[in-house]
Amino acid sequence: MNNHNRVLIFDTTLRDGEQSPGCSMTVDEKLRMAAKLVELGVDILEAGFPIASDGDFQAVRRIAEEFPEARVAALARACTVDIERAARSLEPCRRPRIHTFIATSDIHLKYKLRKSRQQVLDEAVAAVELARRYVDDVEFSAEDATRTDPDYLEQVSLATIEAGASTVNLPDTVGYSIPSEHAALIGRMVKSFGDRAIVSVHCHDDLGLAVANSLAAVQAGARQVECTINGIGERAGNCSLEEIVMAMRVRRDLLPFETGIVTEQLYPASKLLTELITFGPQPNKAIVGENAFAHEAGIHQDGFLKERTTYEIMDPRSVGVPESRLVLGKHSGRHALHKRCADLGYELTREELEEVYRRFIALADRKKGVRNEEILVIVREVAGRLPVAGD
Ligand code: KIV
Ligand code: ZN
């Protein structure tokens, strides 16, 4: 596989993620998360928006100091004060990136910026030129790119590349795109920019399509994906890092792309983030949710116990989840119950298992799940004897 298939993972958990409700972190918390992101192997770590607050400035600076080898990015609007502050926060960094942005869609120009297309284009170019006086690595983002007139988007992008941007990010700021449309837009820009700049995508999840749109973009030639742990971010969040990375890993047959992510760190990173903010992923969240490797239905449990790959497309250990779980509930079967009893120290005869199973299902029908202690009570009543190995 050649380098052309290497996709850069730009993590924005500490910036876009952190700026969403319930996710703000102190400087020390950001440092803890940054250490985990470095261990995870993200290519670019967006550490904050230094103009937003002293805390954000300090966080970027401390992360730049403590992880001198990391490529750290700081966000700045396309204006002098933001860019200078971003540059100052990145001073200790050996591989600093200034990420400057301005909206390009007519709706943002008319109602938010109250500027003409020419003004926005001039400001974007001036911002990139100024950023380049401080750092070699400048990323330009055309906010609301997916709702921007594509001809104008191309014009602004090419002008910022001319001014020195080596990455052009085309955000789906409001999560409006659908995959086929996104692929067409990104494919056009990839062709137009050629080798002069990396095309990056930054998809929000308002329609639940952030990962699908990001993948479509990669297939169309984008080589940087902006994403967050647990998919946190503005409103419905950003593209989930763990999902896009594992999609490319598991479906390498159709998605022959590489990342530098140490996938065994995905679950630990998700757990740490949950500890630092006010909420965790929903239980059925792909890859890192509590149920992502849990099986309750009898048919599934039976298949899983015979051969794991009947119902699992990933080994849980490959994403850092210690093991799969068999959850005993009213849909469970004899196979899983037999195994649980054996794990608890009871080897049951066929007749005992039948009776334990009958009583277990009767109990499970009345509850959301059955605990080990409850299973033990049934087993002891039925078997009426001591366990074969320990208790
Ligand atoms: O969603 C967005 O457009 C952004 C930009 C600042 C990159 O977060
Ligand atoms: Zn965003």
Ordered by where they begin, the domains of the chain are 8-276 (3.20.20.70), 294-383 (1.10.238)
- Burial code (b: 16+ CB inside 10 Å, e: under 16) for 227-254 equals bbbbbbbbebbbbbbbbbbbbbbeeeee
What's the pLDDT score for residue 2? Answer: 47
Query: 298 CB contacts (<8 Å, ≥6 apart)?
Result: 331, 332, 333, 334, 335, 336
What's the pLDDT score for residue 391? Answer: 44
Return the percentage of the chain with pLDDT > 70, whole number. 97
Mean pLDDT computed over 104-128: 98
pLDDT digits (tens, 9 = 90+) for 273-311: 999 999 999 999 999 999 999 999 999 999 999 999 999
Structure tokens at 369: 């799940």
Mean pLDDT computed over 28-49: 98
1/5: higher pLDDT: 5
pLDDT digits (tens, 9 = 90+) for 9-31: 999 999 999 999 999 999 999 99
DSSP SS3 for 58: helix
What's the pLDDT score for residue 384? Answer: 76
Only one residue has tokens 């906010």, namely 143
Site residues for ligand 1, CB cut-off 6 Å = 16, 101, 141, 143, 169, 171, 173, 202, 204
Q: Are 14 and 232 in contact (CB under 8 A)?
A: no
**How crowded is the C-beta side of 231, counted as CA atoms within 13 Å?**
27
Q: Which ligand is nearest to the CA of 46?
A: 1
Task: Give the closest residue (by CA) to ligand 1 atom 8.
Answer: 16
Q: Which ligand is nearest to the CA of 99?
A: 1
Q: Which helix (H) or strand (E) holds 276?
A: helix 266-276
Q: Which ligand is nearest to the CA of 101?
A: 1
Confidence of residue 383 (pLDDT cuts 50, 70, 90): confident
pLDDT digits (tens, 9 = 90+) for 189-224: 999 999 999 999 999 999 999 999 999 999 999 999
pLDDT digits (tens, 9 = 90+) for 70-101: 999 999 999 999 999 999 999 999 999 999 99
Distance CA 305, CA 310 (A): 9
Q: Which of 248, 249, 225 lies closest to 238, judged by CA?
A: 225
Phi first, then psi, for residue 237 (nearest 5°) are 100, -175
Distance CA 331, CA 173 (A): 42
Taking the centre of ligand 1 as the mean of its atom positions, its distance from the CA of residue 367, in whole angstroms, is 45
Confidence of residue 385 (pLDDT cuts 50, 70, 90): low
**What sign results for the dihedral spanned by CA atoms 275, 278, 280, 281?**
negative
pLDDT digits (tens, 9 = 90+) for 324-337: 999 999 999 999 99
pLDDT, the chain, mean: 96
For the CA atoms of 52, 53, 57, 62, the dihedral, rounded to the nearest 10 degrees, stands at -130
Tell me the pTM.
0.95
Q: Which of 16, 157, 214, 224 to mutate to test the pocket of ligand 1 (most atoms within 8 A of CB)?
A: 16
Q: Is pLDDT above 60 for 351?
A: yes
Q: Which helix (H) or strand (E) holds 27?
A: helix 27-40
Distance CA 22, CA 119 (A): 36
What's the pLDDT score for residue 1? Answer: 39
What's the pLDDT score for residue 253? Answer: 98
pLDDT digits (tens, 9 = 90+) for 224-256: 999 999 999 999 999 999 999 999 999 999 999
Q: Which of 49, 75, 82, 141 to mutate to test the pocket of ligand 1 (most atoms within 8 A of CB)?
A: 141
DSSP tag of 92: T
Taking the centre of ligand 1 as the mean of its atom positions, its distance from the CA of residue 173, in whole angstroms, is 6
Q: Which ligand 1 atom sits closest to the C-alpha of 103?
A: 3
Task: Give the closest residue (by CA) to ligand 1 atom 5.
Answer: 143
pLDDT digits (tens, 9 = 90+) for 307-319: 999 999 999 999 9
Q: Which ligand is nearest to the CA of 75?
A: 1
Mean pLDDT computed over 371-381: 95
Confidence of residue 387 (pLDDT cuts 50, 70, 90): low
